[in-house]
């Protein structure tokens, strides 16, 4: 028999009853049932129940055990009584009667429990990550991650890609984040950088004549942490192909990711890759307020500026007098109650806005004079003075109807009936905005948004860049609150046509807004006009509100690259200095090529149904980019600094 185990803690079934077995693992839980001790023994594979009574030679030793002791147990497999079978365990039909127990590793008092999934402070969990990883949920997440990577790798090989490894110590590259610099001992005063991505190397692989490359690549970026982003390093599925166009990337990578999600979705619906919509960047911002929309939420924002222009709502009317401003509506089907509207208004205030205007539509008891008004309209009678107390908008109502009827046009009589229905019929608009702009404008808004009784709409105004972020959050919040989001689905969308450049809000300086190595749509000709109108062959893949993938068709022509960087303020000499290797390679027959990179951590986070990316990383940093287990970053020794020719500035 093996020194430590004949079986794992997930192997034993009723077929093993009567056999002598040896198991090793951790004491998951101990239960004392009056002279009979039960141990749930856990290893990587599962749990087996072990028992010892006073007749067992191991009883006295087992009495001394505590949770998370690592032990070896030898005993006999026994069948459980039918009433005691645990169907939740693979080994639930049996238990092991202990005859011998050895402690392989004793455990101190636990700083956090492993049994169960209690919510413990993250500082404690990260300081004792090796214990945290023993817990069922986190352990399962790490196995999910490993299996997702295995699946990705196999699918890429099956699709005709070849795996290559690129350097970890390299030169600095503008990828949109800060580099981690590595001082050189052999070249004092100079620094390497950890790669933000294998961008230049994978393009050089294409120039070198390899057709399809992929890599499960570690990337390093000194970024501010977020719930969905590690502050130091992450892994991505890195892909590059030669002689391709944008659609080739979509048709190649889409099915790979669809397959991975279907394999690990746990029964959730996965939209087929062939149906993933292509949404232009500008359209995505307009409809969803973000370039990573959650399409499980059916709400789409619309521009409603014309309904507020010169209206009685002075705030929006005055706002629209300024160039570049607009009013957008967020429809809220089934959200038509003052209580809900007030709650969403408070949500906007919590995001730093004064609030959100709203209108909601409700059923109205028809005015008791409705039939009389309709009869007068039908008769062409223009005296409505007897009804002046019936509507707060009556004066406007009366003037309009009288004007129509005096015209004598049969079509105007139809319009008069519609107007009476609007003022006195069975649907009314409510809320402060409705009162200010009147029923004609509110009805036009309702019809544009396709809303009805019991629905609402929320409104934000100004320059879009200033409110789109809050609008996106409000859309998500409204969708969740009203249970409009299909939680049982993975919904994907390709976001395309990203702008190549952006202007600094204060200085007006032009810089790249996305990947600087992308090919501009229209090539060199596109770079002769307004830089802010230039679109790139750049694309992202969004899923359930997260960006999963980013990529581009590359700029492989040196003359176009020089011009593209010149617009962003980089002279040719700077391009040669920073990207000399790639520019040189492009002068020797570079093929058209493109690719993408998909974030593995974020994909696993979605599949594991986690809200925090640290839940799917084996040994993550905390929010302050600290490793609480191995105590990084740490102070260098004087000897290390001398070897590198460095001196630290005094701490401020």
Q: Contact at 8 Å (CB) between 617 and 229?
A: no
Please give the pLDDT value at position 555: 96
- As a whole number, mean pLDDT of residues 315-323 equals 94
Please give the pLDDT value at position 176: 62
Q: Provide, rounded to the nearest whole percent, the portion of the chain with pLDDT above 90.
A: 78
- Residues 6 or more apart whose CB falls under 8 angstroms from that of 504 comprise 511
Look at residue 175 and tell me whether its pLDDT is greater than 70: no
> Closest Cα partner for 600 from 102, 197, 19?
197
Q: Contact at 8 Å (CB) between 126 and 620?
A: yes
- As a whole number, mean pLDDT of residues 313-335 equals 95
Using CA atoms, how far apart are residues 93 and 13, in angstroms rounded to an integer? Answer: 6
Please give the pLDDT value at position 419: 75
- As a whole number, mean pLDDT of residues 547-573 equals 95
- Residues 6 or more apart whose CB falls under 8 angstroms from that of 643 comprise 185
Please give the pLDDT value at position 371: 76
DSSP string over 95-107: EEEEEEEEEEE--
Using CA atoms, how far apart are residues 528 and 521, in angstroms rounded to an integer? Answer: 12
Per-residue pLDDT band at 254 (split at 50, 70, 90): very high
Please give the pLDDT value at position 552: 97
Give the length of the chain. 652
Using CA atoms, how far apart are residues 212 and 239, in angstroms rounded to an integer? Answer: 8
Query: All domains of the chain, ordered by start, with CATH?
Result: 14-105 (2.40.50.140), 123-267+593-652 (3.30.930.10), 297-364+429-485 (3.30.1360.30), 370-425 (no CATH)
- Residues 6 or more apart whose CB falls under 8 angstroms from that of 330 comprise 299, 301, 356, 457, 458, 459, 460, 471, 474, 475, 478
- pLDDT-wise least confident of 36-45, 267-276, 364-373: 364-373
Please give the pLDDT value at position 336: 93
- Omega prior to 633 cis, within 30 of 0: yes
Higher-confidence position of 574 and 376: 574
| pLDDT tens digits, one per residue of 485-519 | 999 999 999 999 999 999 988 888 999 998 889 99
- Residues 6 or more apart whose CB falls under 8 angstroms from that of 323 comprise none
Pairing of β 70-79 and β 47-53 = unpaired
Dihedral sign computed on CA atoms, order 344, 349, 352, 356 = positive
| pLDDT tens digits, one per residue of 516-541 | 899 999 999 999 999 999 999 999 99
Please give the pLDDT value at position 393: 56
Q: Kind and range of the H or E element at 432?
A: helix 432-449
- As a whole number, mean pLDDT of residues 359-371 equals 81
- Residues 6 or more apart whose CB falls under 8 angstroms from that of 497 comprise 280, 281, 282, 521, 535, 538
Instruction: Compute how many other C-beta atoms are within 10 angstroms of the C-beta atom of residue 4.
Output: 12
Per-residue pLDDT band at 90 (split at 50, 70, 90): very high
Look at residue 388 and tell me whether its pLDDT is greater than 80: no
Using CA atoms, how far apart are residues 274 and 254, in angstroms rounded to an integer? Answer: 8
Using CA atoms, how far apart are residues 203 and 596, in angstroms rounded to an integer? Answer: 11
Using CA atoms, how far apart are residues 454 and 426, in angstroms rounded to an integer? Answer: 12
Please give the pLDDT value at position 69: 98
> Closest Cα partner for 25 from 12, 13, 35?
12
Q: What is the chain's mean pLDDT, rounded?
A: 92
Q: Which residue has the tokens 């100004």?
A: 462
Please give the pLDDT value at position 423: 74
Q: Which residue has the tokens 């001992």?
A: 185
Q: Which residue has the tokens 């934000």?
A: 460
**SS3 labels along 201-254:** HHHHHHHCCCCEEEEEEEEECECCCECCECCCEEEEEEEEEECCCHHHHHHHHH
Please give the pLDDT value at position 650: 85
Instruction: Provide the token pair at 606.
Output: 């979605």
In 364-500, at which residue ranges do the beta strands (DSSP E only) sit? 427-430, 456-462, 489-490, 492-496
Please give the pLDDT value at position 489: 97
- As a whole number, mean pLDDT of residues 579-602 equals 96
- Residues 6 or more apart whose CB falls under 8 angstroms from that of 523 comprise 557, 560
Dihedral sign computed on CA atoms, order 608, 613, 617, 622 = negative
Using CA atoms, how far apart are residues 256 and 239, in angstroms rounded to an integer? Answer: 12
> Closest Cα partner for 196 from 226, 217, 227?
217
């Amino acid at each position: 028999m093996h020194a430590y185990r004949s079986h794992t803690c997930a192997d034993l079934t009723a077929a093993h009853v009567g056999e002598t077995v040896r198991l090793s693992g951790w004491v998951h839980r101990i239960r004392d049932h009056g002279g009979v001790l039960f141990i749930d023994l856990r290893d990587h594979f599962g749990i087996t129940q072990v028992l010892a009574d006073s007749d067992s030679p191991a009883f006295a030793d087992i009495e001394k055990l505590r949770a998370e002791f690592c032990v070896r147990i030898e005993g006999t497999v026994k069948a459980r009584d039918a009433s005691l079978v645990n169907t939740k365990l693979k080994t639930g039909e049996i238990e092991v009667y202990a005859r011998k127990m050895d402690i392989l590793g004793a455990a101190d008092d636990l700083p956090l429990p492993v049994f169960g999934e209690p919510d413990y402070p993250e500082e404690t969990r990260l300081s004792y990550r090796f214990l945290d990883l023993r817990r069922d949920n986190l352990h399962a997440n790490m196995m999910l991650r490993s299996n997702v990577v295995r699946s990705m790798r196999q699918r890429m090989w099956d699709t005709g890609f070849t795996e290559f490894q690129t350097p970890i110590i390299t030169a600095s590259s503008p990828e949109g984040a800060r580099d981690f610099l590595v001082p050189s001992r052999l070249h004092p005063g100079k620094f390497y950088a950890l790669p933000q991505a294998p961008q230049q190397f994978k393009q050089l692989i294409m120039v070198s004549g390899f057709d399809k490359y992929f890599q499960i690549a570690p990337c390093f970026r000194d970024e501010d942490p977020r719930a969905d982003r590690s502050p130091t390093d992450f892994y991505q599925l890195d892909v590059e192909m030669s002689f391709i166009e944008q659609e080739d990337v979509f048709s190649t990578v889409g099915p790979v990711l669809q397959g991975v999600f279907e394999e690990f979705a746990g029964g959730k619906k996965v939209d087929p890759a062939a149906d993933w919509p292509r949404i232009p960047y500008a359209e995505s911002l307009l409809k969803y307020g973000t370039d990573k929309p959650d399409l499980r939420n059916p709400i789409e924002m619309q521009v409603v500026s014309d309904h507020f222009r010169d209206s009685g709502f002075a705030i929006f009317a005055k706002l629209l007098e300024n160039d570049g401003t607009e009013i957008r509506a967020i429809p809220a089907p089934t959200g038509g109650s003052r209580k809900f509207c007030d709650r969403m208004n408070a949500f906007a205030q919590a995001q730093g806005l004064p609030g959100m205007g709203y209108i909601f539509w409700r059923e109205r008891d028809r005015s008791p004079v409705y039939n009389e008004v309709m009869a007068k309209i039908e008769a062409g009678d223009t005296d409505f003075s007897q009804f002046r107390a019936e509507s707060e908008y009556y004066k406007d109502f009366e003037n309009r109807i009288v004007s129509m009827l005096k015209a004598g046009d049969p079509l105007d009589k139809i319009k008069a009936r519609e107007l009476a229905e609007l003022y006195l019929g069975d649907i009314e608009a409510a809320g402060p905005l409705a009162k200010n702009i009147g029923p004609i404008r509110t009805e036009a808004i309702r019809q544009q948004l396709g809303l009805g009784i019991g629905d609402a709409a929320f409104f934000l105004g100004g320059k879009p860049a200033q409110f789109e972020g809050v609008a996106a959050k409000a859309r998500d919040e409204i969708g969740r609150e009203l249970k409009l989001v299909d939680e049982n689905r993975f919904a994907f969308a390709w976001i395309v046509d990203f702008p190549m450049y952006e202007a600094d809000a204060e200085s007006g300086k032009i810089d790249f807004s996305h990947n600087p190595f992308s090919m501009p749509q229209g090539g060199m000709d596109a770079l002769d006009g307004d830089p802010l109108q230039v679109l790139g062959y750049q694309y992202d893949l969004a899923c359930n509100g997260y960006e999963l993938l980013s990529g581009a068709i590359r700029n492989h022509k040196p003359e176009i690259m020089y011009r593209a960087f010149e617009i962003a303020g980089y002279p040719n000499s700077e391009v040669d200095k920073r990207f000399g290797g790639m520019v040189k390679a492009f002068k020797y027959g570079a093929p058209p090529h493109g690719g993408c990179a998909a974030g593995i951590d974020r994909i696993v986070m979605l599949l594991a149904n986690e809200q925090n990316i640290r839940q799917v990383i084996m040994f993550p940093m905390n929010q302050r980019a600290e490793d609480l287990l191995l105590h990084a970053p740490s102070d260098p020794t004087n000897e290390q600094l001398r070897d590198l020719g460095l001196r630290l500035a005094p701490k401020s």
